[in-house]
Structure 1
Amino acid sequence: MENKTRRLVVIALYTALALILSYLESLVPIPMPVPGAKVGLPNIVTLISLLTLGTPLTLLIVTARIFLSGFLFGSMSAILYSLAGGLLSLGVMALLLKAAREKLSLITISLLGAVSHNLGQLAVAAAVVQNMNLFWSYLPFLMLLAIPTGIVVGVAANLLYRQLQKINLFK
């Protein structure tokens, strides 16, 4: 019983933290060359959740965060774009963590997650407006943005994960 309760509390905390980071990210305008581009701070929680809870529960957390932030601070279109990017990114990072965790750093996995997030959102945007030129014209900018944002998220997740390991929260 205690493990189930503890896991439920951790899921709720991760979801709340990801939602707060999403909200804070929307409040702080960071000058980006592409409209709507963000750092992706909630992905810190996604990475930590993948490492501590596994893919199925992280899928629950990511989906809950996307719908909650969309309903509270965004729109239905924001939910659509976030789902595309968030779920593709989650899938890529989960596969990389499972297949190559010893070979790839958390920073590299985060960077590839950022790239896949941008690809997912860009694919949906091109499909919505039915214009593949949109995809190809924004692709270079979004790939370049994925590098610093993926690194920032990866470094933050790596530091946080090391601290969580020290306090034995998940043993």
Structure 2
Amino acid sequence: MDSKSYRLVILSLYIAMALILSYVESFIPLPVPIPGVKLGLPNIITLISLITLGWPLTILVVVGRVLLSGFMFGNLSSISFALAGGLLSLLVMALLLHFSKNSYSLIIISIFGAIAHNLGQVLVAVVIVQTGNLILYFLFLMLFAIPTGIFIGITARELLRLLNKTTIFKRLNP
């Protein structure tokens, strides 16, 4: 299998895994009275894709997962919130990875990604509601972004450590 075909297979697997994690996440109740708070399980795959495939293909992972999960389990509103959060999160994490030259840990990158995800969602809410009074809501979401970002970062780091012991990524060159 040539490198492009192999990348397409890995890309498809990432989208499928992110979609499954998104679905699993919908069954995990969080004892939080604030709407929009989630663990961010699909971001595990986003981080792994960003490191193994690079940001251009990871855009496809994020958009593919958001559109598929939105059409299957959500609505147009959920798609717009998830897309804004997912793409802003990806942008921030990609920039941190690019400019940090591996000096930041995946945990720190994941925390900033979680905060950016919340910011993207709040910005969509500001446009829909047409008020800037949602900053307090964003601050509440940030309180949850830090522990969830830590959890996602640790999980992605450990999964990458295990996957690097296999030959799965030997043929990928982001």
The question of whether the paired residues in 2 share the 8 Å contact of 1:32 and 1:38 is answered with no
Partner of 2:34: 34
Tell me the percent identity: 58
Q: How many residues are aligned here?
A: 170
Question: How is 1:13-162 mapped onto 2 (pairs within 5 angstroms)?
Answer: 13-133=13-133, 135-162=134-161
Q: Which runs of 4+ in 1 moved over 3 A?
A: none
The DSSP-based 3-state class of the residue aligned with 2:39 is coil
The alpha-carbon deviation at position 33 of structure 1 amounts to: 3.5
RMSD of equivalent CA atoms: 1.0
The DSSP-based 3-state class of the residue aligned with 2:125 is helix
Amino acid at match of 2:158: L
CA distance in 1, matches of 2:167, 2:152: 22
CA distance in 1, matches of 2:111, 2:105: 10
Unaligned 5+ runs, structure 2? none
Normalized per residue, the structure richer in helix is: 1
Amino acid at match of 2:159: L
Amino acid at match of 1:28: I
TM-score, normalised by the number of residues in structure 2? 0.94
The alpha-carbon deviation at position 27 of structure 1 amounts to: 1.6
Alignment CA distance shift 1:159-1:56 (3 Å): same
Unaligned 5+ runs, structure 1? none
The question of whether the paired residues in 2 share the 8 Å contact of 1:62 and 1:86 is answered with yes
Amino acid at match of 1:148: P
The question of whether the paired residues in 2 share the 8 Å contact of 1:108 and 1:154 is answered with yes
Amino acid at match of 1:143: M
CA distance in 2, matches of 1:4, 1:102: 26
